[in-house]
Structure 1
Amino acid sequence: MKLLCTGIELADASSRGFELDGQKLFAVRRDSKVYVYINRCPHRGVGLEWTPDQFLDPSNSLIQCATHGALFLIEDGECVAGPCAGQSLTRVDCREDAQGIWVSL
């Protein structure tokens, strides 16, 4: 497991992008739980963020691709609207402890 960031660096209802060992990732915290995905849309293979660290729709309830507006569930990365409906983001195993958020790459 590799340290992604400290827990305080990812506020609730927010997202943040990272690059770890050459792999682009992003993390979302919702209801105190952390979800980490590879930053790659299954439709076009592009990064999802609108601007740095902005991966969520305006309501902060779904992950949204900046390129074509596809919407993904935060909890499992499933695309629920857009050209890649039925496909999913690639989830990265993670855990959180007192030191921070850890991922398995």
Structure 2
Amino acid sequence: MKFLCPSHELAQDSSRGFDLDGRKLFAVRREGRVYFYINRCPHRGVPLEWQPDRFLDPSASMIQCATHGALFLIENGECVAGPCAGQSLTPLPGREDAQGLWVQL
């Protein structure tokens, strides 16, 4: 497991991008849980964020691709709207403990 950041650096209903060992990934905190994904849209293979650390739609209820507006469920990465509907983001195993957020690459 690789350390990402202290827990307080990922607020509730927010997202944050990371570049770890040359791989782009991001984390989203929702309802007390943290979800980890590779930062790559399954449609075009491009990074998802429209600004640094901005992976969520305006309501902070879904992950949104900045390129084509595809919407993904935070809980499992499934695309539910847009050109990659039916495809999914690539999840990464991770955990949160007293030190902070950890991810397995």
What amino acid is the match of 2:26?
Answer: F
Structure 1 residue 46, shift from structure 2 partner: 0.1
Structure 1 residue 34, shift from structure 2 partner: 0.2
Distance, in Å, in 1 between the alignment partners of 2:104 and 2:58 is 29
Q: Which residue of 2 aligns with 1:76?
A: 76
Distance, in Å, in 2 between the alignment partners of 1:6 and 1:79 is 29
What amino acid is the match of 1:41?
Answer: C
> Secondary structure of 2:8's partner?
helix
Structure 1 residue 40, shift from structure 2 partner: 0.2
Q: Which residue of 1 aligns with 2:42?
A: 42
Distance, in Å, in 2 between the alignment partners of 1:18 and 1:56 is 15
Q: Which residue of 2 aligns with 1:62?
A: 62
Q: Which residue of 2 aligns with 1:25?
A: 25
Structure 1 residue 72, shift from structure 2 partner: 0.1
Q: Which structure 1 segments of 5+ residues have no match?
A: none
Structure 1 residue 90, shift from structure 2 partner: 0.2
What amino acid is the match of 1:53?
Answer: D
Moved segments of 4+, more than 6 Å: none
Compute the TM-score of the two structures, normalised by the length of structure 2. 0.99
Q: C-alpha root-mean-square deviation of aligned residues, in Å?
A: 0.4
Q: Which structure 2 segments of 5+ residues have no match?
A: none
Aligned residues with identical type, % of pairs:
77
Size of the alignment, in residue pairs?
Answer: 105
